[in-house]
Structure 1
Amino acid sequence: MPSAIIESLDHEGRGIARCDGKAIFIEGALPGERVEFSSYRVKPKFEQATMLVLHKASALRVTPKCEFYGTCGGCSMQHLEASAQVAVKQRVLENAFWHLGRIRPDLLLPAIQGPAWGYRYRARLSVFKRPSDGRVLVGFHEKKSSFIADMHSCEVLPPALSALLMPLRELIGALSVADRIPQIEVAVGEEQTVLLLRNLLPFTAADEARIVAFGAQHGVAMWQQPGGPDTARPLQAGAQSWLSYSLPEFGVSLRFQPNDFTQVNVDINRILMRKAMALLDPQPGERIADLFCGLGNFSLPIAARGASVVGVEGSVAMVRRATENAELNGLAERCDFRAANLFEATPKSIAALGKLDKLLIDPPREGAIAVCQALGEQAPRRIVYVSCNPATLARDAALLVGEKGYRLISAGVANMFPQTSHVESIALFERS
């Protein structure tokens, strides 16, 4: 059985060793450790492997809190001490900037951190009724598998939701359409928690009665979604038809539906908002664009600071939600929300937004390359870029710095997903 000494960690939290000039990526191994491993994928220049025997443990190794860690694919870094996880993510961001973009920020921002456990206020739980024995499984997928982990609890879910995993198995198993419910969407708001059942066949009256009784017993709102996103609705008669979260520092509250995109980690979102507003520094009289604006998460704090906001989002439903949120917060006069496909942005479409003093970009994993390419001579002097993918951020940053005349002033990570290798980050660009 081959052995190796781990040199560093990669962007997925795997240990990296070198054997005969080849990189070996070993799951579960940490820098400084000597391990024996077994490769499951062999290529000419690299191998992917699993650690089998640990001979020398790192001082940063900790005992995983979750008993299903290693089987469940929801977490990948529970064996690494929490502050070291953040340091790894900061290094991933730095490496992406340099190796992919050949740039470095003038300043590395302190990492944005929050609770390491029980932080996940949004989750998509998979559901499967096994034909072999009729058992129902509810949870996340196993590592590198389409199977659902046989898990009884989850340490990154709020404790009250973790405690519902086993009762949910019993509930689904008692329904007439148990084998036609592939997912349960979990969404926690400030007034209520929603469990949205994705049902591919209609519920019977008896099913609905069971589901409503379950919600009453456990203090959660039960919803169903028999078709597309627009079909989501509460099962209880007269139930509240929305959730909300607040950003107290900016005096705003945002409403959303359980299947809308919102940030998973409410605590980190609030701190990230504070940092984004400090970097953007919105001022009364300024005109600022919020691209990929969603339901107004960044737009409303910008408007609350006195600036005028042009919010652009690809989803018509989210544009409608953002408009409603601006009205509910008394900010409608400062907010102009528009629907447009920003992945097809052109100099003409960006110019049509009008003169902009500043710009905030918060794209999905694909990044915002079309937007960056479309910026012309009248581009805003300051850009705050919030990213969930260091690789696409580095690519876009290289274009902004190399072709559009910006400097990468500062950048840092936000630990939105503790115990995982996911890297959220924020960067500030300026040009004279």
Structure 2
Amino acid sequence: MLRRVDSWTRTLRHAKPSSSESVRLVVERLSHEGRGVVRPGGKVGFVAGALPGESIEARLVERHRRFDEYRLLDVVEASPRRVTPACPIVERCGGCDLQHLDHDAQLDHKTAVLRELMSRTAGLEPAVPEAPLRSPPFGYRRRARLAWHVPRRGAPRLGFRQAGSREIVALAACPVLDPVLASLPGRLQPVLASLRRPRQLGHVELTVSESGDGRPWPVLYLHLVEALAAEDRARVAGFAAAEGAYLYLGLADQRAECVYRPEPQAPGYLLPESGLRLTFEPGDFLQGNAAVNRAMVRRVVEWLSGDGVRRVVDAFCGLGNFALPLAAAGLAVEGYEGDAALVDRARRNAADLGLDDRARFSVRDLDADAGLPDGVDAVLLDPPRTGAAALAAALAARPVPVVAYVSCAPATLTRDAAVLAGAGYRLERLAAVDMFPQTAHIEAMALFTR
């Protein structure tokens, strides 16, 4: 008897089916982006929601020259690693594309993809293939951006984008959000819907702040199209006060205004192993997973605290997430960052923490100016998805003994690793980073020496 699968059947709803008949398929493996791979007649096909080893019923929905796409209809024989998704709207929400796969299997898949890409693209195998940096499977996410839509008819909606669509799925609660944020969207939505002019709101950002004693506080940042009317402003301020949440209002190209704060301190987060609290402002880039960020900071400090490392360049340093723990460990750090506002925040954090004698920060476009100062013992790279091509070339032309690379995109990590390998760098350590469980997104850390 077939076991009905409703999840992911809407993912390709805009594609025009090429056939109305279902076919029986066996799934070989997962693609890098987490879809099941099948080969009917020898041609590669992809099936969202299918797992390796499963026998499935699927329908062809789109033909391409090199591959086809199928819609999953039923699972005939399920993988032992298939689990029931924890979220009731997972089949519509576009956020979690691997919630049907158990967490350990997700990590196995991400580790295998990372190592395969590193071997194929850069020709490198790590001397020490480290275990992945693990996250709790749920309740981990400390940042979220929620879309807001006011239709001509019907109720306004606050939530995430629907899979394969720009439609918004109204969100009552989200199991991957930090417990402080998890049910906040459901309580916030009716407040926003009751505004006299709800179309003045563009979107909403939620973040978790930690006080010095570790107490978490929600941070609510409303991105506005126009300034709120006085009565609407009072309404959202009252909601923030009742929730014990920081409230910020922001118009485009203007600094966010703090309307309410539940404690005197600016929002911040803790790095307990380093004894630090770093402050931030709404809209600043923060790693989305607090537990994994702490693990990454510990690993970077461990990697760069070896014999002979005294002076470090932190490229793409942000507000000092890695630079300041390295300075607290006794190293001299120069941080480079293209965003002037983040550099200001890094300098302020260094001064507040008494580390400005060991951590200095400069604004620099690292794509245009990748030059390194003399006497550097190690370089830390933490680039955006586009990677660090210019810096990899600079490090190849002018090597340093140690390079640590924190990546949110394995494709550009391995591209840059190939450049380093061509200049004689060795891959000492490689680890997948479980930044976003329940998704196919892969992050990584790598250590190179020369």
Displacement after TM superposition at 1:163 (Å): 1.7
TM-score w.r.t. the length of structure 2 is 0.91
Counting only pairs closer than 5 Å after superposition, residues 255-270 of structure 1 correspond to structure 2 as 255-270=279-294
| In structure 2, distance between residues paired with 1:419 and 1:324 | 36
| Contact 2:308-2:377 at 8 Å conserved across structures | no
Name structure 2 gaps, 5 residues minimum.
Answer: 1-21, 212-216
| In structure 2, distance between residues paired with 1:261 and 1:329 | 20
2:178 to 139, 149, 158: 158
2:223 to 179, 182, 198: 198
Displacement after TM superposition at 1:101 (Å): 2.5
What amino acid maps onto 2:136 in structure 1? P
Counting only pairs closer than 5 Å after superposition, residues 10-409 of structure 1 correspond to structure 2 as 10-133=31-154, 135-191=155-211, 192-228=217-253, 230-236=254-260, 240=264, 242-281=266-305, 286-346=310-370, 349-350=371-372, 353-375=373-395, 378-402=398-422, 404-409=423-428
% same residue:
38
Displacement after TM superposition at 1:227 (Å): 2.1
Displacement after TM superposition at 1:285 (Å): 7.2
Displacement after TM superposition at 1:377 (Å): 5.3
Displacement after TM superposition at 1:282 (Å): 5.5
Displacement after TM superposition at 1:354 (Å): 2.7
Displacement after TM superposition at 1:279 (Å): 1.6
Displacement after TM superposition at 1:164 (Å): 1.9
Distance verdict in 2 for CA 1:237–1:324, change over 3 Å: closer
What are the superposed Cα offsets for residues 253-285 of structure 1, whole Å, 9 maximum, x if unpaired? 110012100111111111111112112225697
Displacement after TM superposition at 1:318 (Å): 0.6
**Alignment: residue pair count:** 424
What are the superposed Cα offsets for residues 171-227 of structure 1, whole Å, 9 maximum, x if unpaired? 111112212312101111103321101110111110111011111122212211122
| In structure 2, distance between residues paired with 1:304 and 1:74 | 36
| Contact 2:246-2:261 at 8 Å conserved across structures | no
TM-score w.r.t. the length of structure 1 is 0.95
SS of 2:191's equivalent?
helix
| In structure 2, distance between residues paired with 1:123 and 1:10 | 26
Of the structure 1 ranges 383-392 and 284-293, higher mean CA displacement relative to structure 2 is found in 284-293
Distance verdict in 2 for CA 1:293–1:282, change over 3 Å: farther
SS of 2:175's equivalent?
coil
| Contact 1:286-1:357 at 8 Å conserved across structures | yes
Partner of 1:421: 440
Of the structure 1 ranges 368-377 and 11-20, higher mean CA displacement relative to structure 2 is found in 368-377
| Contact 1:197-1:223 at 8 Å conserved across structures | yes
SS of 1:162's equivalent?
coil
| In structure 1, distance between residues paired with 2:200 and 2:56 | 44
Displacement after TM superposition at 1:99 (Å): 2.6
| Contact 2:62-2:70 at 8 Å conserved across structures | yes
Displacement after TM superposition at 1:114 (Å): 2.2
Q: CA RMSD in A?
A: 1.7
| In structure 2, distance between residues paired with 1:285 and 1:23 | 48
| Contact 2:200-2:228 at 8 Å conserved across structures | no
What amino acid maps onto 2:429 in structure 1? S
Displacement after TM superposition at 1:67 (Å): 0.1
Name structure 1 gaps, 5 residues minimum.
Answer: none
Distance verdict in 2 for CA 1:237–1:308, change over 3 Å: closer
Displacement after TM superposition at 1:38 (Å): 2.2
